[in-house]
């Protein structure tokens, strides 16, 4: 009997000790002050460092551009018409042939049944290269039939149409970079040399023409560029030099504010609110918020907070 009572007491004490241990453990885990003190005793090892990539902010040149499509044209293209209607009796030039002003390029027979007339010559009004010759001998033509299209291929031009929202940036001598699908991996320079004084009321676009130039601004002639080619034109509407530039990937749009993070000498992330200037596909101009020489975070910044420890990797 006494032995049974002793066993019961021992079991009760063991159960009470276990319950006390459970309560103590729960309270310890739920006490933020104790957790903070524990982290302090560990020298801050409780906060793991975020892995980021950085880049030094440098000054450079940034260009704002508008990308549109256009066509290559002969600088001067004219259609050649006969002075009388009738049968096309003779053609003297074909596509690609060189003609000069005053050359006879075809003959038209204006005769009708029962009548005989002398052949009427068709004369070129410009010098250039035959670009189109849609009629053949025996065809019936009129004074409205364009027997030839002759163009001056010695200097080609680009024609394109600029949307209304970009019109205020267009001016003579504005630079552009031109690319062709038929000449991959290579770009060409051009300059605006003709601007229409009015917009097309139907399309709300402004017609402009450009000439090909070299790096010195001199007229460029390249035999690989042909009239009729389709071009992708990047019009440089604004250029700024010696300004701080940062990669687009480093900037976050947060609640209508542009922010970025820099890493200080203690490997700590610092949040910066930015004022940005012009931009292109790759970079932003920084007006205020970051200075040249600072290390800006280019990868891993989306989950950072101000003051977070970071580990920089290449």
H helix or E strand, kind and range, residue 2: helix 2-29
More confident residue, 6 or 176: 176
149 pairs with which residues across the strands?
79, 132
CA distances, 45 to each of 53, 266, 305 (Å):
21, 15, 17
Distance in angstroms (rounded) separating the CA atoms of residues 272 and 260: 5
Query: Would you state the structure tokens that stand for residue 201, as one six-digit string?
Result: 């009321």
Average pLDDT over residues 85-99: 94
- The CATH classification number of 50-61+241-312 equals 2.40.420.20
Domain 77-151, CATH 2.40.50.100 — does that match?
yes
What is the number of other CB atoms lying within 10 angstroms of the CB of residue 26? 10
Residue 70: per-residue pLDDT: 96
Distance in angstroms (rounded) separating the CA atoms of residues 116 and 106: 18
304, pLDDT greater than 70: yes
Average pLDDT over residues 30-43: 44
Domain boundaries, the chain: 2-41, 50-61+241-312, 65-74+155-240, 77-151
Instruction: Tell me if the pTM is above 0.75.
Output: no
36, pLDDT greater than 50: no
Average pLDDT over residues 98-103: 94
Average pLDDT over residues 96-102: 93
User: 3-class DSSP state for residue 8?
Assistant: helix
85, pLDDT greater than 90: yes
Domain 65-74+155-240, CATH 3.60.150.10 — does that match?
no
Average pLDDT over residues 151-167: 90
Report the candidate in 233, 111, 113, 112 with the shortest Cα–Cα distance to residue 162: 233
């Amino acid at each position: 009997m006494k032995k049974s009572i002793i066993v019961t007491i021992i079991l009760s004490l063991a159960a009470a000790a276990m319950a006390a241990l459970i309560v103590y453990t729960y309270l310890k885990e739920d006490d933020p002050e104790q957790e903070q003190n524990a982290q302090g005793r560990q020298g801050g090892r409780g906060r793991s460092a975020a892995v980021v990539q950085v880049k030094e902010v440098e000054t450079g040149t940034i260009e704002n551009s508008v990308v549109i499509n256009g066509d290559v044209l002969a600088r001067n293209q004219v259609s050649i018409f006969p002075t009388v209607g009738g049968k096309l009796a003779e053609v003297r030039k074909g596509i690609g042939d060189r003609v000069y002003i005053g050359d006879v390029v075809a003959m038209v027979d204006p005769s009708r049944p029962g009548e005989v007339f002398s052949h009427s010559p068709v004369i070129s009004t410009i010098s250039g290269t035959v670009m189109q010759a849609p009629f053949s001998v025996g065809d019936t033509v009129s004074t409205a039939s364009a027997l030839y299209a002759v163009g001056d291929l010695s200097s080609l031009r680009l024609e394109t149409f600029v949307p209304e929202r970009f019109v205020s940036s267009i001016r003579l001598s504005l630079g552009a970079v031109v690319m062709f699908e038929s000449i991959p991996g290579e770009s060409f320079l051009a300059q605006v040399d003709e601007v229409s004084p009015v917009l097309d009321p139907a399309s709300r676009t402004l017609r402009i023409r450009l000439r090909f130039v070299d790096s010195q601004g001199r007229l460029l002639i390249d035999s690989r560029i042909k009239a009729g080619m389709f071009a992708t034109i990047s019009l440089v509407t604004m250029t700024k030099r010696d300004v701080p530039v940062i990669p687009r990937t480093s900037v976050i749009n947060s609640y209508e504010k542009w922010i970025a993070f820099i890493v200080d000498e203690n490997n700590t992330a610092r949040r910066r609110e930015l004022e940005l200037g012009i931009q292109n596909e790759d970079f932003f101009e920084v007006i205020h918020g970051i200075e040249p020489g600072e290390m800006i975070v280019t990868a891993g910044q989306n989950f950072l907070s101000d003051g977070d420890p970071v580990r920089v990797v290449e």
